[in-house]
Structure 1
Amino acid sequence: MTELSSHYQQILVGLGEDPEREGLLDTPKRAAKAMQYLCKGYGERLEDIVNGALFASTNDEMVIVQDIELYSLCEHHLLPFIGKAHVAYIPTGKVLGLSKVARIVDMYARRLQIQENLTRQIAEAIQEVTRAAGVAVVIEAQHMCMKMRGVEKQNSVMNTSVMLGTFRESCTTRMEFLQLIGRSH
């Protein structure tokens, strides 16, 4: 049994459960495997994700990939938060392969996180890779630590944004992005 599985077995005992009962026999192994998958972003590197998928382009207009679903774990309670990211950048000679934007979101989401840091990490990674004139990221997510415990607010949604470069400097550019993703209100 791996060390992580052993810890899950101890958690079951600590909760007052019998890890030897039929329904829980393989739970420590399954939970360990699930946690490793949910946190696989720790084993990924930006360079490997991008894998050279930058392409020459004369486009200097906004590129937006929106509604990228994301699944992460709150670093405070180890409970999921689930939502979507909207990512935009203004190219300066190169564009990033479309799937790479979603993979970058996943790489950072698949780590223990707070949403505020996740938003910044995605924006800074896109900026680093593309050398864009500006990058904007908005994430909207629902947090199980708000829904399942504590205040138990079922309809709460957290929105975070990070604006870099032109998106930070130009109100017009920022508003265009927010209008295009339908978040201007």
Structure 2
Amino acid sequence: MTRPALKEWDTQTQLLTQGRLSLLIRKGGVMETHDGFEVEHRSFLLYPTFLHQNAAELQAQYQPLLRDDPQPGTIHLPALAEVVAVHKIESLDTALRLEPLQALTAAAIERRFHYRNRPWVHALLLRIRPLTPPLDVPETPEMLGCVSWVPLGNLEIAAGKAVIPEAELQRRQQHLQELIQT
């Protein structure tokens, strides 16, 4: 089975795998199709990327997690992500209300919201299950570039228990729903 991976900033991947956060706000990379980012997969590996990671776009409390790539040329895949909920947010006010639930600053959310003059973002609530053991794969030329989804081929994986209990994830989902419906 070909396993897809979602490229996400290393810092945000750390926060997800630590269970500190469960929400990503996505718009897409410069090489995405004209329509931009789509949630093509409901289960995928997290692919930490250091490309375009920007301290100015991370909330101050998360900036200490920024680091240089510890193994250039090797992708360290730490976890399996499962989509619990996905929302296409077409109101900037609603998108900005999500700031406390994820790692980006309000300015970064606004920039992503307006990227390519398409006013929307996706909010993805994720269940994160660490790989046991984590998987290291060599980075190939096909993996490079500003794209969200990367097919990794046939990889055998084993994923452990979710990093946060299901009751806590449901609480986070309810809070997300409340913020979106406000």
Q: Could you tell me the TM-score, scaled by structure 2's length?
A: 0.29
Higher percent of residues as helix:
1
Q: Could you tell me the TM-score, scaled by structure 1's length?
A: 0.29
Higher percent of residues as strand:
2
